[in-house]
Structure 1
Amino acid sequence: MSFNFSCFKNSSGRFFAYTIKPVVYGLLIARILGVPKRFGLITGLGYAFSNDGSPGLLRKMLGAFARQLYRLSLSGAEAVFFQNPDDRELFRFQRILKRQAYTCVVNGSGLISNIFVLHRYQLKFVF
């Protein structure tokens, strides 16, 4: 199996990861490859961090594993952005982030709909 690492070798020396898998795996690989400035965006925490009342062993193990992966990958990040302030507080409370880690809550990752207007197109399928 081969993997193309060219996305990590850009001229800016920066790497921005978005969502759980790129944040965890991408930031770890970027650190190994020596990318000096690494950033992560946490969009949501999902199943591993949910507390829906089911105290299953699998959920506890998955949650502990996810916390360790996040802790390891985010430890060298220049900044960590969150889309939810509660997620940021949970990361601090569970010591996933170091106390001095720079964090910021952003207002989402969508488009401004009054600037980027949806245009209707007639699709013509040809077989």
Structure 2
Amino acid sequence: MTTTKDILNHHLQSFDKGDLQGVLSDYAPGAILFTPDGPLKGADAIKPFFQALIAEFAKPGATFNMKQQFVEGEYAYILWTAGTADNVYELATDTFVMRDGKIVAQSFTGKITPKR
């Protein structure tokens, strides 16, 4: 049986490797991702969000620092900071709900300051 921790680890590893298909494979059909710009529902809507993030973090000099990670039952929470060529992620969080081996809901927010 796939645990919440297993799914979270796969999700983070896939993102770290720049594996868009691996990231998207973690989501259930009809999954919803809540962002500061509004909700994204389903893999087709979620895909551009991760394409942009993966492209940004693939640029030279990107850093990522996991500050906290909690898993409780079907829920997971991460708190992190990061820096890319484009932005400083002063503080960011993701909260996940996972059922039947897939992410069914996620929220993301952060204090993101452009470097321009």
TM-score (norm 1): 0.23
Structure ranking higher on relative contact order (CA contacts 8 Å, 6+ apart): 2
Q: Which has the larger radius of gyration?
A: 1
Query: As a proportion of its length, which structure holds more helix?
Result: 1
TM-score (norm 2): 0.24
